[in-house]
Amino acid sequence: MDRETLTQAIRELKRERKAVILAHSYQRPEVQEVADFVGDSLGLAREAQRTKAEVIVFAGVHFMAETAAILNPEKTVLLPDIEAGCSLADSIRPEDVLAWKEAHPEGLVVAYVNTKAEVKALADVCVTSANAVEVVAALPKDRPIFFVPDMFLGAHVARVTGRRLDLFPGECHVHAGIREEHLRALLEAHPEAEFMIHPECGCGSSCLYLKPDAKMLSTEGMVRYAKKAAHSTFVVATEVGILHRLEKEAPNKRFIPVKPDAVCEYMKRITLEKVYLSLKEMRHAVRVPEEVAEKARKALSAMVAVG
């Protein structure tokens, strides 16, 4: 089927299945276009929690579909490609968290949403890049904090809040690949541009040194900021899937990727055809054992409530 036929078939199946399609901002443009809601991890979690649909098709990666399943145990959550994983979520194991907790019995575990359900179940609270600073700033100041798994986001949170955090040495392979030399080249080429940097980027500290007025923003923060900012040109340091949404929501502005090949191959595993097959054949249902989900739900509910 061509794209137009696939799109129409998806819309018809969505009505039949009483389904909603949620898509992350890093998804392919054509997948974003068939979604009912496009956003970042926090926005998607909130939308998954409030939807009245019976079926949630999650155009994202596995931990996102898991999050939706945890927050909606009575609904069917489908992931169009079961192999759509996450290198960051895969970097940490429950054993890593348990070892820290054993050494710090009074400690608090802050888990980035980019983690598997078994890790979330061991956390005191989950965060996204959009609310991590706010969540950590509100935690008791007399208790040690283990921030997992993204060390660059954790370093950003520590810098902004002034809190001492124990950081797990995890990273997103896409954001870690955006380096200082990429930023320096764009600074020279576009000195007038506004710089928007995702806090998962390994170049965050050096960017703030090179350009102190650069904005450290979540994907959703980038969209909101670009729409209201007076600047007309923006340099964007994150996965390039965000460019479609930025160009759509701020059509009179120019967006330049710091690294044009900053592509998450896991996000791009989701295609329009796979979304169609997911709805047609009800594949692939994502389920989390209730004993794990019950514990993870507490940490996720605290995350969704902030901000």
Which residues does the annotation place in the binding site? 24, 41, 86, 112-114, 129, 172, 198-200, 219, 264
Positions at the binding site for [4Fe-4S] cluster: 86, 172, 264
Is the Cβ–Cβ distance between 300 and 112 less than 8 Å? Answer: no
Strand ranges for the chain from DSSP E: 19-24, 37-39, 55-59, 76-78, 108-112, 125-127, 145-148, 166-167, 194-197, 215-216, 233-237, 254-257
CB atoms within 10 A of CB 93: 13
- Ramachandran region of residue 282, left (φ > 0), alpha (ψ -120 to 50) or beta? left
Q: Which two tokens stand for residue 184?
A: 């320096």
Provide the token pair at 35.
Answer: 């979604």
Binding annotation for iminosuccinate: 24, 41, 112-114, 129, 198-200, 219
- Short-list 92, 112, 96, 116, CA closest to 104: 96
| Phi, psi of 22, rounded to the nearest 5 degrees | -110, 130
Identify any residues that bridge with 254 across adjacent strands, giving them in sequence order.
233
SS3 77: strand
Q: How far apart are CA 31 and CA 232, in angstroms?
A: 27
CA 297 vs CA 7, 75, 97, 270, 288: distances in Å: 34, 15, 17, 26, 11
Structural tokens at position 237: 């340091």
Cα–Cα distances in angstroms (integers) from residue 192 to residues 240, 244, 255, in the given order: 21, 22, 13
- 103 Cβ contact list (under 8 Å, min separation 6): none
Euclidean distance between CA atoms 28 and 239, whole angstroms: 11
